[in-house]
């Protein structure tokens, strides 16, 4: 497992511990956990590379507030990438019904690099013709 995947997993485990298994929201429904948000974000695909943002290693962390709202620390392959709106729209669709609200905190440190791509992401990129 690469370092970013380890960091995301550790962050998810820490969030799981903080939220607690089987926690319930104010409406009595089961509250999502960071792992659920990460899984939903696999439906968010980088429009330039065609691979989801989790396997590309673009998601640096997920935290859930007491109200269930998600804050997602995410980066891009390049700070000059003009596609933040596309990714935010996809994230809104992916997270609809899972969390009451979300915010993407665009971060640039540590800078993204190919070392952050998961093995699944590498396989997807190879299938698309990339040499990684």
- What CATH code is carried by the domain that includes residue 7? 3.30.300.130
pLDDT for res 15: 35
> Residue with structure tokens 């104010």?
26
Answer with the residue of higher pLDDT: 127 or 23: 127
| Measured distance CA(69)–CA(84) in Å, rounded | 20
Residues 37-50: tens digit of each pLDDT: 999 999 999 999 99
Residue 59: both structure tokens together: 């998601």
Residue 83 lies inside a defined structural domain of this protein: yes
Is there a domain that residue 132 lies in?
A: no
- Give the closest residue to 103 by CA, choosing from 74, 131, 70, 130: 70
Q: Are 25 and 68 in contact (CB under 8 A)?
A: yes
pLDDT band at 32 (very low <50, low <70, confident <90, very high): confident
Rounded to the nearest integer, the mean pLDDT of the chain is 83
List the domain range (segments joined by +) for residue 83.
3-20+27-127
How many structural domains is the chain composed of?
1
Residue with the larger pLDDT of the pair 80 and 26: 80
**94 belongs to a structural domain:** yes
Angle at 74 between CA 93 and CA 117, to 5 degrees: 100
Half-sphere exposure of 122 (CA within 13 A, CB side): 12
**pLDDT over 60 (residue 126):** yes
């Amino acid at each position: 497992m690469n370092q970013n995947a380890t960091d995301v997993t550790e962050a998810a485990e820490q969030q799981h511990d903080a939220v607690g298994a089987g926690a319930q929201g104010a409406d009595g429904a089961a509250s999502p956990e960071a792992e659920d948000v990460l899984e939903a974000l696999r439906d968010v695909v980088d429009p330039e590379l065609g691979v989801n943002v989790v396997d590309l290693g673009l998601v640096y962390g997920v935290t859930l507030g007491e109200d269930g709202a998600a804050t997602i620390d995410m980066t891009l392959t390049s700070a000059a990438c003009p596609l933040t709106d596309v990714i935010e729209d996809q994230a809104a669709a992916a997270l609809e019904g899972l969390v009451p609200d979300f915010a993407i905190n665009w971060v640039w440190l540590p800078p993204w690099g190919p070392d952050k791509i998961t093995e699944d992401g590498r396989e997807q990129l190879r299938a698309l013709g990339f040499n990684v």
